[in-house]
Amino acid sequence: MQINMETDAGANLIRSYDAGRIGVNEEFFNSNIIVASDVLISDWKITAPEELCLDDFRKMAALEPTIVLLGTGEQQIFPAQDLLTPLMHQQIGLETMTTRNACHTYNVLVHEGRRVVAALFV
Q: Which helix (H) or strand (E) holds 29?
A: strand 27-29
Please name the amino acid found at residue 30.
N
Q: Which fold has domain 14-120?
A: Hypothetical Protein Mth938; Chain: A, (3.40.1230)
The confidence score (pLDDT) of residue 47 equals: 93
The confidence score (pLDDT) of residue 8 equals: 55
The confidence score (pLDDT) of residue 1 equals: 46
Which positions ≥6 away from 14 have C-beta within 8 Å?
3, 22, 23, 24, 35, 103, 106, 107, 118
| Residue 8: alpha-carbon gap to chain centroid | 19
The confidence score (pLDDT) of residue 3 equals: 47
What residues pair up with 120 in beta bridges, in sequence order?
A: 33, 71
Extents of the domains making up the chain: 14-120
The pair phi, psi for residue 114, each rounded to 5°, is: -80, 150
Alpha-carbon distances, residue 118 vs 96, 104 (angstroms): 10, 10
Residue 71 contacts residue 101 (beta carbons within 8 Å): yes
Tens digit of pLDDT at every position of the chain (122 positions): 444 445 456 899 999 999 899 999 999 999 999 999 999 999 999 999 999 999 999 999 999 999 999 999 999 999 999 999 999 999 999 999 999 999 999 999 999 999 999 999 99
The confidence score (pLDDT) of residue 9 equals: 63
